[in-house]
Structure 1
Amino acid sequence: MALVATGCATNAPSPSVMTDQQVADTLAANLDVNYKVITNHGANEGLECRQLAAEWASCDVINLTLTNNGPAVTNTDWKIYFHSIRMILDVQNDQFKVTHITGDLHTLEPTEKFKGFAAGEKVVIPYIGEYWTLFENDFMPRAYVIAGDSTPKTLQSLDHEDPSAYLDPIDGDNWKRTPTDNNILATAQSRFEKNSDVDLIASETLAGTIVPTPLSTTLTGETVSLAQGIKIDNKALSAAMLDSVVSRMATLGINTNGQYPVKVILDPSRFSKDTKVSGAYQLDVRDGSTLIVGYDAQGAFYGLQSLMSLASTGAEKTIPTLKVVDAPRFDYRGVMVDVGRNFHSKEAILRTLDQMAAYKMNKFHFHLTDDEGWRIEIPGLPELTDIGSQRCHDLSETTCLLPQLGSGPDNNNFGSGYYSTQDYLDILKYAKARGIEVIPEIDMPAHSRAAVVAMEARYKRLAEAGDLAAANEYRLMDPQDTSNVTTVQFYDKRSFINPCMDSSLNFVDKVITEVAAMHRAAGMPLNTWHFGGDEAKNIKLGAGFQDANAADKVEWKGDLDLSKQDKPFAQSPMCQKAIAKGVVSDYGHLPSYFAEKVSKVVAAKGIENFQAWQDGLKYSKDADAFATDNVRVNFWDTLYWGGGASAYDWAAKGYDMVISNPDYVYMDMPYEVDPEERGYYWATRATDTRKMFGFAPENLPQNAETSVDRDGNGFTSKGEASPRKGFYGLSAQLWSETVRTDDQYEYMVFPRVLAAAERAWHKADWERDYQPGLEYSQDTNHVNKVALHNDWSRFANLLGQRELAKLDAAGIQYRVPVPGAKIENGVLHMNVSMPGLPLQYSTNGGKTWSTYNADAKPTVSGKVSVRAVSANGERYSRVISL
């Protein structure tokens, strides 16, 4: 394909006298930036993606257009620092060059051929990027400009959270990963067809339904009104747990100073053998009183949550009399939140803990560190938060980390931030009062750049003071390591804690000691340490590349001089000595070796559980290689790339399996195949609430019959191994690369996390037991899909008619689903994935809106806009037109 570059005017204005700061200020105020995806299918259209060293020989073309809306600028001593999550392989305008700095940070600067920006001039800079750009949020905001020694200034045209401000819509077939992509683009029509099998269920039919679904519910034929309030006779809960219940009831409008008696007791003797587990309860709602019996305090707490689940948020507080016997499916019912990539406020975390408790989730996996940020104060190591928690423009990285992920040059946004010791204590106490274990994750040896940079700053400070012993005590990087490494998110060797240095273990010991002390102070002993362990590799040595010097090449791999690539630590003299001593057989085994060493530190501190992402332990023999009583792994292989089989291999090695598959329970993936949705999409193009609800976490091959792969195609799955023990839990993950604000965070998590809660607590009748050797695909018919459909219809109605209103009451900024719509013979038909939510339409471009009535469908003409409304009527879905 031809690439046309629009050059600058040949009659550039005479240089005006501007200071460096004036140049930066002028460009920042007046330079309009626009991106347009020209093609996502570069290799199919003749681009030399392979020769440009694109992984899997896949590349795209983007037109970057700069429009100067201000006076002429002829200065050539400037750089625009911008964020690109794709490696930029080639620039098709010789007046500019792009340089990769670190991570997603790049610079655009003029070459010697630059002729200046004339007033009103538009310049197009086509560039070729690796892979593809399928969702608008791939383009990060807050590029900034520096001229000479000026203060950095954010480009005003990019200082937006809405990418449509600086991006042309992704149109044509560019929403497809490849030309043969079989996904269905989310449109008004396709949404309507998808939603059409879910009808509104009468509210009385839903009465007596609890979320998540109990083991058994028996309706006893009467009703009880809670409108006049209840009176709790508590014989089971601590004061803090009772206070959290009262707080939740107040949120839902239930008066706890009323007269209707609710007695809460403990009596383990009332429970059968299969329900003698933590969290089990019995609920007996009668005309004159309610009795809640907990197997333990946690069970009693959940019994009260179930009583609240029956009630609506409105004035109507009538609930049916019933008897419930209930116990959890999994011991581990988790939510992971990444605050390393972007920080999320303590208040947002507390709101999440409230909802976890309401829906009986009990493990909060707190991903506190990553390459882009260290988020917890550690007494004695101030650099971790003084430097490692802050992002700003400092090329030396001695005062902060360089900007990433759209944070721009300043630290006044969610790119920066940390939890003080008191903040963390507050979170721990809040979680404890709701029966939630907080599991801190300090990711290592990879994804550790924030820690490494901070400890290098500490080293420099103490070394300059002449205290080399102290300087080296917690150093994490071998200063002589010359390894050429590129991590998954384009960092270099400073992304890794060196596993061969005693000071690395000193650091681990120090951090665990301080975090454990916080847990003790909060009255929540540290029972689980999460090591992280994921992605300790050089992506340039992956299967998507081939040696550029090889005689025989394939067209679908990128050409790269592999002789110049290293495994992590391969050029570290300290690790070379360890290999020479036979500590491990090769450099690839070092991360698992380090995990085993850290597990000894964990065990020595009396911490029972060691947890990691499974790939971090892949070279350890089995769970017995670790020093702790239990070893848990978050299993995160995608099912269509073999995860439906490999999970059982891991379980057969004795690990406590926490199912965390990215193609089903990663909440950073988009809700829909729609470029306007937020999220990364390497694992799946879409995971909505319905897909998460239909996930079968214990029989992973089953999902091949009920869902498709990343490209919308069917796949086959079967496992052969017999697990040594059943899976231990289910966890839903929220990674935060594209999630920069608390509102964005809650949009991504809610409401689909409620579906994860349902699957973690309740095994549905349509979930089949795992059978080694039994294969599933789109062509098999092992799953009772009618039962699955009916179960989803029930759950979808519960969300639309009851549960979303509770999220509103709690102040949760959940995603209001985009409705489906079609026009037939001039008549508008609308529906929504969660029946009960109000729908609206406009025939005048959104100036006024009318409520849609399915029983009296309106006649319309011309362009029609549609939207769904939140349960409380105060927020709206994204508007679409047809």
Structure 2
Amino acid sequence: MPAHSAAAIFTMETREDEIDYKRSHGNQNLPESLLLFDHKSAKDVLSVQKWKQNAMNPCMNSTYRFVENVIDAMIALHKDIQPLSKFHMGGDEVAKGVWNGSQECQNNPDIPNTILNNTEQLQRVFMRRASDIVAQKNLDLAVWEDGVYADEKPNPITDYKSKNVFVYPCNNRWDTTFARRPAEFADAGYKVILPLATHLYFDQPQEPDPESRGLYWATRFTDTRKVFGLMPDDIFANLGPGRMGNPVTEESICGSNTCPKPKKTENIIGLQACMWAEVMRTEGQFHEMAFPRVLALAERAWHRADWETMTSPSRETARDKEWEVFADVLGYAELPRLERKGIMYIVEPPGAKVESDGTLKANARYPGHVIEIMDDKSQKWKKFKERKLANGQHTFNFRVRTPVDGRVSRTVELKANVSTKVNSYA
């Protein structure tokens, strides 16, 4: 809230129609209005997901009655299981201009004329009033980054009365300036959880390949090794190419200034991975997107590696060595254990190449996985063995097979023209 609320908005309109119908038939014992949208607002403004009328109006008292009803329902739901301690308000992706022209805002004496067409400041009005309800229920407040960010800076932490305010700054795409926000929030007194989209959005592809499932609005790919290599204490140390492969530097993000690092590092309190289900339709697809990336997330969240505080190139050398140990543990122990539990983790395809002397080589991401090969003559899969190739044109298909349940990766093709002078690869 207030955006991502089309279902609530239209449901409450249907409810209001039913109330009006009962009133027209003489029934005066009616519930209070819970309308959430003013149709004098700019109702054709589209959200980033192309929804209309999906943001609750911050100037209507009925909006806050609805918010309190929702919070009370959540408290009751958790009461006998694990009492609710925090309420996540959402707060993200309010479409700019969605409340422009609102009669309710114009008629509300508490809304200054200077902010009637200022979406960020109207959202600030919503968040302050809605968060007051959260605080009255003795709950901490949680919110996505843009819910408490206006005029290019975090809103003052004093806007909110809860003991703790948890913020989730996720949008650290390297081709934007948003990666500065975690440090800004930490230094402003917020409790910061890092669901960094470039490394911890598990609905992003696991390979830079069009056949790899996932969206790529944040990054071109995020594989398990990339998650393992995350350095959460220094976000800008994780700089990589933009989502279209363009190079990114600290200067391109922060200009001539040094990219900010949090002074109040104690306010960076954890990591979170996220997955959105529009790219998944089956349990197997969910498993494939989550595992084994979530194991690398756990490693980074629970363990600060020595290489995180090193400088290049020592950092890369030490990280590569620790990754080899981690990959061995996965290949020999954890992935077979997942298979026995029915977890259908992603089976990554192998790599293959022809050396200059004509030697055909291949490798798998994890030890214990079997590399299989099919050449253009036999058309049969068999276990791969390193070999010297005769001169001429060759085409090979490769795949990986898992050790327990025998699932296979997608097939990759290698074409080679072997001669004593020239080698070419595809």
Structure 1 and Structure 2 fold alike (TM over 0.5): yes
1:682-831 to structure 2, matched below 5 A, reads: 682-704=217-239, 707-717=240-250, 718-720=258-260, 722-726=262-266, 727-768=268-309, 781=312, 784-824=315-355, 827-831=359-363
For residue 15 of structure 2, the aligned residue among 443, 451, 458 is 458
The verdict on how the C-alpha distance between 1:880 and 1:525 changes in structure 2, with shifts beyond 3 A counting, is same
Q: CA deviation at 1:502?
A: 1.5
Q: Comparing 807-816 with 525-534, which one deviates more in the overlay? A: 807-816
1:292-331 deviations in Å (ceiling 9; x for gaps): xxxxxxxxxxxxxxxxxxxxxxxxxxxxxxxxxxxxxxxx
- Residues 631-646 of structure 1: pairs in structure 2 closer than 5 A: 631-638=165-172, 640=174, 641-646=176-181
For 1:591 and 1:846, the matched residues in 2 are separated by: 65
Partner SS for 1:733: coil
- The aligned amino acid for 1:450 is A
**1:226-274 per-position Cα deviation (integer Å, ceiling 9, x unaligned):** xxxxxxxxxxxxxxxxxxxxxxxxxxxxxxxxxxxxxxxxxxxxxxxxx
Structure-2 change in CA distance of 1:448 and 1:783 (3 Å): farther
Q: Which residue of 2 aligns with 1:375?
A: none
Contact 1:869 1:877 in 2 (8 A): yes
**Residue in 2 that maps onto 1:516:** 75
8 Å CA contact 1:804, 1:871 repeated in 2: no
Deviation string for 1:394-452 (max 9, x for gaps)?
Answer: xxxxxxxxxxxxxxxxxxxxxxxxxxxxxxxxxxxxxxxxxxxxxxxxxx111111222
Whether the aligned pair in 1 keeps the contact of 2:41 and 2:98 (CA below 8 Å) is no
Is the alpha carbon distance of 1:790 and 1:643 closer, same or farther for their aligned partners in structure 2, counting shifts above 3 Å?
A: farther
3-state DSSP of counterpart to 2:408: coil
Structure 1 pair 578/838, CA: closer, same or farther in 2 (3 Å)? farther
Aligned positions of 1:661-672 closer than 5 A: 661-672=196-207
1:464, distance to aligned residue in structure 2 (A): 2.6
The partner residue of 1:611 within 126, 137, 142 is: 142
Q: Which residue of 1 aligns with 2:104?
A: 574
CA contact (8 A) 1:709 1:715 kept: yes
Query: Would the aligned equivalents of 2:173 and 2:218 in 1 still touch at CA under 8 Å?
Result: no
Residues 591/828 of structure 1: CA separation in 2 closer, same or farther (3 Å cut): same
Which structure dedicates a bigger proportion of its chain to strand? 1
Partner SS state of residue 79, structure 2: helix
Q: Where does 1:275-314 land on structure 2 (aligned, <5 Å)?
A: none
1:532 aligns to what SS in structure 2? Answer: coil
- The alignment covers a number of residue pairs equal to 394
Amino acid corresponding to residue 767 of structure 1 in structure 2? E
Residues 169 and 181, structure 2, Cα contact 8 Å, conserved in 1: no
Q: CA deviation at 1:518?
A: 1.5
Provide the rounded CA distance (Å) in 2 between the counterparts of 1:584 and 1:752.
47
Paired position in structure 2 for 1:851 = 383
Question: After superposition, where does 1:152-171 map in structure 2 within 5 Å?
Answer: none
Counterpart for residue 628 of structure 1: 162
Say if 2:352 and 2:362, in contact at 8 Å, map to a contact too: yes
* Amino acid in the other structure paired with 1:527: S
Equivalent of residue 38 in structure 2, options 473, 478, 483: 478
> What amino acid is the match of 1:843?
D
- What is the alpha-carbon distance in structure 1 between the residues aligned to residue 334 and residue 225 of structure 2? 15
Offset at residue 573 of structure 1 (A): 0.7
1:498 Cα offset (Å)? 1.4
Q: Secondary structure at the match of 1:784?
A: helix
Indicate conservation of the 8 Å contact 1:827/1:857, yes or no. Answer: yes
**Distance verdict in 2 for CA 1:581–1:713, change over 3 Å:** closer
Structure 1 contact 694–788 (Cα < 8 Å) conserved: yes
Are the structure 2 counterparts of residues 872 and 578 from structure 1 closer, same or farther at C-alpha, using a change threshold of 3 Å?
A: farther
**Closer/same/farther in 2, CA of residues 632 and 847 from structure 1, 3 Å limit:** same
User: What is the TM-score with the length of structure 1 in the denominator?
Assistant: 0.42
- Cα offset, 1:839, TM superposition: 1.5
Runs (5+) with no aligned partner, structure 2: 251-257, 415-426
Query: For residues 715-747 of structure 1, what are the alpha-carbon distances to aligned partners after superposition, in whole Å with 9 as ceiling and x for unaligned?
Result: 233433643342111111112222222222221
C-alpha separation between the residues in 2 aligned to 1:740 and 1:468?
47
Letter aligned with residue 637 of structure 1: N
Instruction: Report the equivalent of 2:253.
Output: none
Q: What letter corresponds to residue 652 of structure 1 in structure 2? A: D
2:32 is the alignment partner of 1:502: no
1:655 is displaced (CA, Å) by 0.5
The secondary structure found in structure 2 opposite 1:864 is strand
1:526 aligned partner, one-letter code:
L
Per-residue CA deviation, residues 476-502 of structure 1 (Å, 9 max, x unaligned), is 22233344311101111x211112111
- Preserved contact between residue 832 and residue 868 of structure 1 (Cα < 8 Å): yes
Instruction: Return the letter of the residue paired with 2:348.
Output: P
Following superposition, the deviation at residue 661 of structure 1 comes to 1.4
State the 1:469 CA deviation: 8.1
Match of residue 87, structure 2, among 502, 525, 529: 529
Structure 1 residues 130-529: aligned runs within 5 Å: 444-466=1-23, 470=30, 473-492=33-52, 494-522=53-81, 524-529=82-87
User: 1 or 2, which has the higher helix percentage?
Assistant: 2
Q: Any idea what SS the aligned residue of 2:278 has?
A: coil
Change (3 A) 1:731 1:526: same
Taking only the aligned residue pairs, the percentage that are identical comes to 34
For structure 1, which segment, 455-464 or 858-867, has the greater mean C-alpha deviation from structure 2 after superposition?
Answer: 858-867
Partner of 1:408: none
- 2:189 maps to 1:654: yes
Amino acid at match of 1:735: W
How big is the shift at 1:638? 1.4
Paired amino acid for 1:529: F
Q: In the alignment, which residue of structure 2 is the partner of 1:70?
A: none
1:460–1:471 contact (8 Å) kept in structure 2: no
Aligned-partner Cα distance in 1 for 2:135–2:183:
26
Taking a change above 3 Å as real, the CA distance of residues 517 and 766 of structure 1, as seen in their structure-2 partners, is same
Q: Aligned partners of 2:231, 2:121: CA distance in 1, in Å?
A: 33
Shift of 1:862: 4.4
Aligned to 1:834: 366
**CA-to-aligned-CA distance 1:495-514 (integer Å, 9 cap, x gap):** 11112111111111111111
Deviation at 1:759, TM superposition (A): 0.7
- Tell me the distance in 2 between the aligned counterparts of 1:625 and 1:724: 20
Q: Is the 8 A contact 2:105 2:111 kept in 1?
A: no
Counterparts of 2:162 and 2:143, CA distance in 1: 13
Q: Deviations over 1:505-539 (max 9, x none)?
A: 111111111111121122x111121111111123x
Going from structure 1 to structure 2, the CA distance change for 1:828 and 1:783 (only over 3 Å counts) comes to closer
C-alpha distance in structure 2 between counterparts of 1:870 and 1:634, whole Å: 36
* Mapped contact 2:106–2:113 kept (Cα < 8 A): no
Separation in 2, partners of 1:729, 1:583: 40
Provide the residue aligned with 1:271 in structure 2: none
CA distance in 1, matches of 2:106, 2:79: 40
Comparing 757-766 with 511-520, greater Cα deviation is found at 511-520
Aligned twin of 2:215? 680
Distance 1:785 1:455, change over 3 A: same
The structure with the larger Rg is 1
Q: Structure 1, unaligned stretches of length 5 or more?
A: 1-443, 539-566, 770-779
Alignment RMSD, CA only?
A: 2.6
Is the Cα–Cα contact under 8 Å of residues 458 and 471 in structure 1 kept in the other structure? no
Change (3 A) 1:867 1:517: same
Are 2:418 and 1:877 equivalent residues in the alignment?
A: no
The residue aligned with 1:550 is: none
Alignment of 1:85-104 (within 5 A): none
Within-5 A mapping of 1:42-121? none
From the superposition, tell whether residues 469 and 794 of structure 1 become closer, same or farther in structure 2 (CA, over 3 Å).
Answer: farther
- Indicate conservation of the 8 Å contact 1:827/1:859, yes or no: yes
Structure 1 range deviating more: 835-844 or 756-765: 835-844
Structure 1 counterpart of 2:424: none
